[in-house]
């Protein structure tokens, strides 16, 4: 980002603040005629866990049927160049609810608490007079927050122990529906945070545990099932570096990969049904027209791309996530946005903008209202994702995505850099980092990353020790710990 572009991004945010909540609200509500006192929209945030950006039928995937998610796409804007700020659960979720990158939140690994000094979405909306409820998985630090979440009423206090994700998600769905049916005299912010299709992690880890057998029992393809084919990018990248140079389940044959992919899409269908039940309840309680809905996921899933299962990689397989926003009559319906780069950091600025809620003083994302309502608007020049696979004393790795290219730099445990032409090579099969004719472009991406790290004071935040205590050793044991979450 050049200085003038950087200033432009900052200026945009400042101008929004200057415009003030009232001005924003007036524009959003033009032409509407709600009774005084009920004009502010409800906000419903629906999240899944480990959902690829292409795992819905609305995105053109014929191996899965997701009518509920498709209905959200049909009534809103679905972003296709949408990235998580860190391809792992807790860091990504912490960024979603704060509009700050994980390093600024002291959430470099799973199961870490968010820095107390940073306000959470629930606090921001509760302060503005909203009724705030949270159902389902949290994970900062506890997967299910028995001790509460700042700014939220915790709606279900279930635990994951020995249960299928589907069963925990059923409790999340019921708690969210109960919250929607309550009588109240103020608007609400409701988060319903589902686990599926995260149970795919259990199947990636082998079948030696009783719960894994239960998962296979539910999702095993019948003998006559048509299995999804291998992905076009199933092979390793030519010139792969960093964690992308490693294999997961290198001994699997083609059938095992296809069976794995089949199970993933069935998990998607389970969580889609549960999301559909929440959308039904919203409609049945007469709140659909006055509710802004955000749908997203914390990170993707390799699903056999580059012979990878799980997350902790910067390929689109793992780092690209769905982001759909809808509000009947306000947000344009049925548009797939394939141009604008967006990130979970943009969610809090966007919902504050539409709700007329005073946002936190510091946010690193921007409201997406401009690019949704005026598609010719310029959005982000770039978005960044980060990882901290090493422990204290280590350095973070980064991904920088621009309109056409993606740059990755790794420091530990494996080193290297990668550069992809995302238009010519969407499967990210050919690493172009050594191409001399692209040297200026690669330098531009390095400069953008430097600018981002300066803006977010990255050097000020050394990497903390992982609570799993296994950081710096390839993360394998830490990841195993996370598999039962
Ligand atoms: Ca996750």
Residue 310 Cα to ligand 1 midpoint, Å, equals 9
Residue 475 pairs in a beta bridge with none
| Dist. CA 40 → ligand 1 center (Å) | 31
Ligand 1 centroid to residue 299 C-alpha, Å: 6
Residue 427: inside a domain: no
Distance between CA 464 and CA 33 in Å, rounded? 51
> DSSP assignment of 412-480, as one string?
SSS-EEEEEETTT-TT--B--TT-GGGHHHHHHHHHHHHHHHHHTTGGGSPPPPPTTS-TTTTTHHHHH
Question: Whats the size of the chain, residue-wise?
Answer: 485
Asked whether the beta carbons of 136 and 193 are under 8 A apart, the reply is yes
Ligand 1 centroid vs 198 CA: distance in angstroms?
A: 7
Instruction: Say whether pTM exceeds 0.75.
Output: yes
Tell me how far the alpha carbon of residue 298 lies from the centroid of ligand 1, in angstroms. 5
Would 479 be classed as within a structural domain? no
Q: 436 lies in a domain? A: no
Q: Token pair for residue 409?
A: 């730099």
**Ligand 1 centroid, distance to 337 Cα (angstroms):** 24
Spatial separation of the C-alpha atoms in residues 442 and 418, rounded to whole Å:
10
Place of tokens 């589907």: 166
Nearest to 130 by CA among 19, 45, 47, 31: 45
First to last CA, the chain: 38
Domain presence at residue 28: no
Distance 196 CA to ligand 1 centre (A): 9
What is the CA(284)–ligand 1 centre distance, in A? Answer: 31
Q: What is the DSSP string of 193-213?
A: E--TTTTHHHHHT-S-SHHHH
| Residue 262 belongs to some domain of the structure | yes
- CA–centroid distance, residue 149 to ligand 1 (Å): 18
For residue 43, the CA-to-ligand 1 centroid distance in Å is 22
Range of the domain at 309: 40-380
What is the distance in A from the centroid of ligand 1 to the CA of 399? Answer: 18
In a domain? residue 430: no
Domain CATH code at residue 223: 3.40.720.10
Cβ atoms of 331 and 325 within 8 Å: the answer is yes
Name the nearest CA neighbour of 109 among 84, 137, 141: 141
Contacts with 374 (C-beta within 8 Å, 6 or more apart), sequence order: none
For residue 366, give every residue at least 6 positions away whose Cβ sits within 8 Å of its Cβ, in sequence order, or none: 9, 12, 13, 346, 349, 379, 380
Site of tokens 């299910």: 144
Query: Ligand 1 centre and the CA of 297: distance in Å?
Result: 8
Determine, yes or no, domain membership for 99.
Answer: yes
Ordered per-residue pLDDT tens for the chain, 485 residues: 333 333 333 333 333 333 333 333 333 444 343 333 448 999 999 999 999 999 999 999 999 999 999 999 999 999 999 999 999 999 999 999 999 999 999 999 999 999 999 999 999 999 999 999 999 999 999 888 877 999 999 998 777 788 999 999 999 999 999 999 999 999 999 999 999 999 999 999 876 678 999 999 999 999 999 999 999 999 999 999 988 888 888 899 999 999 999 999 999 999 999 999 999 999 999 999 999 999 999 999 999 999 999 999 999 999 999 999 999 999 999 999 999 999 999 999 999 999 999 999 999 999 999 999 999 999 999 999 999 988 888 999 999 999 999 999 998 778 899 999 999 999 999 999 999 999 999 999 999 999 999 999 999 999 999 988 644 333 333 334 444 45
> 72 C-alpha to center of ligand 1: Å?
21
> For the chain, what is the domain count?
1
């Amino acid at each position: 980002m050049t200085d003038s572009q950087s200033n432009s991004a900052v200026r945009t945010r400042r101008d929004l603040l200057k415009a003030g909540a009232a001005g924003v609200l007036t524009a959003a509500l033009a032409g509407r005629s709600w009774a005084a006192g009920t004009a502010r929209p409800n906000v419903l945030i629906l999240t899944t866990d480990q959902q690829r950006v292409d795992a819905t039928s609305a995105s053109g995937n014929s191996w899965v049927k997701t009518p509920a998610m498709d209905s959200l796409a049909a009534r809103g804007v679905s972003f296709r160049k949408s990235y998580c700020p860190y391809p792992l659960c807790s860091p990504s979720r912490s960024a979603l609810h704060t509009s700050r990158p994980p390093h600024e939140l002291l959430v470099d690994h799973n199961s870490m608490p968010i820095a107390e000094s940073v306000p959470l979405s629930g606090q921001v909306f509760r302060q503005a007079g909203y009724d705030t409820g949270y159902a389902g998985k949290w994970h900062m630090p506890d997967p299910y927050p028995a001790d509460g979440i700042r700014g939220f009423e915790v709606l279900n206090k279930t635990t994951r122990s020995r249960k299928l994700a589907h069963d925990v998600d059923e409790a999340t769905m019921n708690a969210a529906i109960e919250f929607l049916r309550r009588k109240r005299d103020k608007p609400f912010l409701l988060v319903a945070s589902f686990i599926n299709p995260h149970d795919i992690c259990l199947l990636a880890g082998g079948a030696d545990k009783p719960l894994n057998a239960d998962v296979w029992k539910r999702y095993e393809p019948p003998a006559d099932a048509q299995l999804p084919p291998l992905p076009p990018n199933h092979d390793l990248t030519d010139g792969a570096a960093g964690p992308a140079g490693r294999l997961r389940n290198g001994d699997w044959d083609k059938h095992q990969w296809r069976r794995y992919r089949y199970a993933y899409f069935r998990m998607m269908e389970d969580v889609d049904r549960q999301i559909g039940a929440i959308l039904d309840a919203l409609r049945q309680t007469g709140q659909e027209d006055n509710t802004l809905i955000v749908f997203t996921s914390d990170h993707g899933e390799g699903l056999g791309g580059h012979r990878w299962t799980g997350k902790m990689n910067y390929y689109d397989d793992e780092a690209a996530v769905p982001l759909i926003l809808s509000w009947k009559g306000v947000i344009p319906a049925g548009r797939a946005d394939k141009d604008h780069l967006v990130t979970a950091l943009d969610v809090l600025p966007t919902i504050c903008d539409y709700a007329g809620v005073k946002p936190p003083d510091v946010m690193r994302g921007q409201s997406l209202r401009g690019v949704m309502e005026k598609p010719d608007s310029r959005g982000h020049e770039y978005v960044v994702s980060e990882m901290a696979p090493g422990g204290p004393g280590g350095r973070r790795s980064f991904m920088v995505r621009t309109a056409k290219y993606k740059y990755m730099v790794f420091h530990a445990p494996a080193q290297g850099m990668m550069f992809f032409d995302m238009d010519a090579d969407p499967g990210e099969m050919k690493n172009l980092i050594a191409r001399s004719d692209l040297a200026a472009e690669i330098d531009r991406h390095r400069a953008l990353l430097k600018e981002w790290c300066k803006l977010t004071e990255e050097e000020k935040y050394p990497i903390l020790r992982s609570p799993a205590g296994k950081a710096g050793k390839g993360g394998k044991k830490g990841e195993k710990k996370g598999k039962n979450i």
